Amino acid sequence: MSRAAWRLASRSAAAAALAAALAVVASCGQSRRDPSQAPPDPPLETVEVGDALDAELDTSEDVVAARRPREDVGGVLPGGFPRDLPLPTPTTLVDFGDATGGGAWVLLASPRSAAALSSQLAQDLPAAGWRLSAAGPPWTAARDGRSVRIAVTARGAGSELKIEY
């Protein structure tokens, strides 16, 4: 290839590259148009449909099963909890942890009133061999060299029972 032909080819390639770059720049500028100048979207087509398949169902005669209220302790008591300590029912384990100064505690919730729980505990603890320290709550109950502290607190329509052991 002669030197003149090579220069001509180089200039043609440079001109083509410049044209491509200008086209890219020009197309980028189009995407920055003011959206208020864009043409409006065409209206959406409205389609009439019939009633839903379940529109004529009637649930007024359905049988509704009611859950039976729990008559036991809900939840898993932690290891080390005195299994021979009678618990009022129904109750649900809400929380548990380590007590300050050693030992542990559990927190139980009940839909029953604090008075009803206290009354049941005052009967059930001595019947299970636990000696009560006072006419509480709170009580300290002892049996076979072990002791627990029991407090009953009213919470809303129900109550909480905290046992430290």
Mean pLDDT computed over 9-36:
64
Query: pTM to 2 decimals?
Result: 0.57
SS (H, E, C) the chain: CCHHHHHHHHHHHHHHHHHHHHHHHHHHHHCCCCHHHCCCCCCCCCCCCCCCCCCCCCCCCCCCCCCCCCCCEECCCCCCCCCCCCCCCCEEEEEEEECCCCCEEEEEEECCCHHHHHHHHHHHHHHCCCEECCCCCCEEEEECCEEEEEEEEEECCEEEEEEEC
**Segment 47-67, tens digit of pLDDT:** 888 887 777 777 778 787 776
